């Protein structure tokens, strides 16, 4: 008996390969037509495939449409705002856009549920306005092509849907920030990423201390990316910036729901890669989240002009501001999305590959390669990953929201990290601590690790010009979330110590 690897024939003899389908080649639903696709060992024909995907799409989206989530089929769908579709150009977002247009814009009868009749309230138009938002990232790195015009043409094929393009450098643009929120004093902040304390400074003061002139949003983006320590931190930061740009754009368009084209396969990849990067506390938000801005932002919110004309909105005042992020394709695998796009003749723009060397060695790329390879031979593993992660509950109450990614921060994480960190002693211990504010208490574990954790390997060469500034600009939403120390007025100081002061007594 040989100890080497068995050949293909010997392997089949030792362990027979499982059939792609369980019992029959005929469709599982109609039981009359030969199948065209095998979905996790179940056979479906082409005619039954489209109602199956539509049912999965509606089942994942519609229970979260109303302000109070429910699963009742009898309740009419009445969202609090509009709908924003996050479009990346990939396969999942292309299928999502086609499904949203057929089910909720063009009102295709083939996508309507059969129960309840044509006059059922669920067959009415749900959202008054549907907007597609695309974030272009070609300016971030040299050698990438601009696909905004192509995406605009693709969105124009879907009548009744608005198109809103963004660029990733908008995250550092004060003018864009003022278009989303009412004009107010939002301080631009910069951070020193050379230490784990992440000391903050005003962007104006750091610019005046430097010999160079004030930077543009694109230069600020390049400076931020070139300061990231590892190859994994770059794509992770891009995903965070795009997600926050979409969330704030949802507020701008008066949208209560943001839908993303994350398929079952992509969701499993993001869950596993997120755990490996320290986002285990936010697994629940990775599948579905509800983002509520802080109270300061709520006071400046104004309803869009197309909503102000509505008598109902005018009578009840502005709606409670929140954005519910839903992934309606979380039960649809990558193979089903590919067949939907093929049979519907949908144009897929595709995702650009990262132009720098070593991009295939980051955690997200390695996780994607592993799970997609595992899905070929074991198709049920991907759904098992997602089902297992849905059972995970975070321990304890969150200590607020992270100012960078706007997700819950685990309480006591800073003390825990200080106990497990290995630090080297040097001669700089006698230097008095800095009086400037620190960004570290306002970050979650994953964002702090992304900005400070350095590898033994050198940082990737992104092809960007290195900055001579000691500090790095931060996205605009960080300045509105960090509590900065301010000088207290004399009247406020008197009010604070008023009850401890003695009354003046004059001698008579």
Give yes or no: residues 323 and 458 share one domain: yes
pLDDT mean for each 10 residues of the chain (508 residues):
56 57 76 84 88 93 84 74 94 95 84 62 80 93 89 92 94 90 69 81 57 71 88 89 95 93 93 90 89 56 42 48 92 92 91 72 85 82 90 84 90 73 53 65 88 73 68 86 61 73 59
Count of structural domains, the chain: 2
Question: Could you give the CA distance from residue 285 to residue 324 in angstroms, rounded to a whole number?
Answer: 10
Same domain, 281 and 176: yes
Instruction: Spell 157-166 as b/e; 16+ CB within 10 A means b.
Output: ebeebebbbb
User: Which of 255, 200, 167 is CA-nearest to residue 443?
Assistant: 200
What's CA 350's distance to the chain center, in Å?
19
Do 168 and 194 fall into the same domain? yes
Please give the pLDDT value at position 304: 44
Instruction: Please give the Cα distance from 32 to 453 (Å, whole number).
Output: 58
Check whether residue 229 and residue 340 sit in a common domain: yes
Q: Looking at the structure, do residues 37 and 157 belong to the same domain, yes or no?
A: no
Q: Give a yes or no: residue 193 inside a domain.
A: yes
Copy the structure tokens of residue 270: 């993001």
How high is the pLDDT of residue 57? 94
**pLDDT confidence of residue 140:** 86
Q: Model's pTM, two decimal places?
A: 0.82
Give the structural domain span for 30: 11-44
- CA separation for the pair 361, 230 (Å, rounded): 10
| 23 & 101 share domain | no
- 495 in any annotated domain: no
Judge whether 201 lies within some domain.
Answer: yes
Residues 32 and 52 in one domain: no
> Do 340 and 389 lie in a common domain?
yes
- Indicate if 34 and 152 belong to the same structural domain: no
Looking at residue 508, its pLDDT comes to 47
CATH number of residue 175's parent domain: 3.40.50.620
How far apart (Å, rounded) are the C-alpha atoms in residues 232 and 446?
12
Range list of β-strands (E), 327-467: 398-401, 408-410
Residue 386 inside a domain? The answer is: yes
| Rounded Cα–Cα distance for residues 431 and 434 (Å) | 9
Q: Specify if 297 maps to a domain.
A: yes
The answer as to whether 84 is a domain residue is yes
Task: Output the pLDDT for position 116.
Answer: 57
């Amino acid at each position: 008996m040989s100890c080497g690897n068995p050949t293909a024939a010997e392997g089949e003899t030792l362990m027979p390969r499982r059939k792609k389908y369980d019992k029959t080649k005929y469709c599982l639903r109609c039981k009359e037509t030969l199948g065209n696709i095998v979905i996790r060992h179940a056979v479906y024909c082409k005619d039954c495939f489209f109602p199956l995907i539509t049912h999965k799409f509606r089942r994942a989206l519609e229970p979260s449409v109303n302000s109070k989530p429910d699963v009742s089929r009898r309740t009419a769908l009445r969202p609090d705002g509009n709908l924003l579709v996050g479009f990346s150009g990939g396969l999942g977002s292309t299928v999502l856009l086609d499904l949203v247009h057929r089910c909720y814009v063009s009102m295709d009868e083939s996508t309507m549920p059969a129960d309840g009749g044509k006059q059922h309230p669920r067959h009415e138009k749900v959202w008054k306005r549907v907007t597609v938002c695309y974030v272009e990232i070609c300016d971030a790195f040299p050698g990438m092509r601009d696909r905004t015009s192509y995406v605009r043409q693709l969105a124009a094929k879907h009548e009744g849907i608005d198109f809103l393009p963004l660029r990733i450098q908008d995250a550092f643009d004060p003018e864009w920030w003022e278009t989303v929120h009412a004009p107010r004093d939002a301080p631009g902040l910069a951070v020193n990423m050379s230490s784990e304390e992440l000391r903050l400074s005003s962007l104006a003061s750091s610019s005046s201390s430097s010999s160079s002139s004030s930077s543009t949003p694109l230069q600020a983006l390049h400076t931020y990316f070139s300061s990231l320590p590892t190859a994994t931190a770059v794509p992770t930061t891009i995903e965070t910036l795009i997600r926050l740009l979409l969330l704030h754009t949802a507020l701008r368009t008066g949208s209560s729901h943001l839908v993303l084209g994350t398929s079952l396969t992509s969701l499993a990849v993001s869950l596993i890669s997120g755990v490996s990067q320290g986002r285990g506390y936010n697994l629940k938000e990775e599948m579905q989240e509800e983002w509520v801005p802080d109270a300061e932002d709520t006071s400046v919110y104004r309803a869009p002009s197309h909503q102000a004309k509505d008598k109902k909105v005018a009578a009840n005042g502005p709606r409670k501001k929140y954005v519910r992020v839903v992934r309606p394709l979380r039960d649809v695998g990558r193979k089903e999305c590919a067949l939907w796009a093929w049979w519907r003749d949908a144009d897929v723009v595709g995702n650009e590959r990262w132009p720098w060397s070593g991009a295939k060695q980051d955690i997200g790329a390695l996780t994607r390669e592993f799970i997609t390879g595992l899905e070929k031979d074991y198709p049920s593993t991907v759904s098992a990953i997602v089902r297992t992660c849905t059972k995970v509950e975070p321990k304890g109450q969150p200590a607020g929201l992270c100012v960078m990614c706007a997700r819950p921060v685990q309480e006591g994480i800073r003390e825990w990290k200080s106990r497990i960190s290995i630090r080297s002693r040097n001669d700089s211990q006698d230097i008095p601590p800095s009086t400037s504010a620190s960004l570290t208490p306002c970050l979650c574990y994953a964002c702090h690790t992304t900005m400070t954790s350095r590898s033994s390997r050198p940082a990737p060469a992104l092809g960007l010009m290195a900055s001579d500034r000691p500090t790095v600009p931060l996205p605009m939403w960080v300045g509105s979330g960090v509590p900065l120390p301010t000088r207290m007025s004399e009247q406020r100081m008197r009010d604070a110590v008023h009850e401890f002061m003695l009354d003046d007594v004059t001698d008579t």
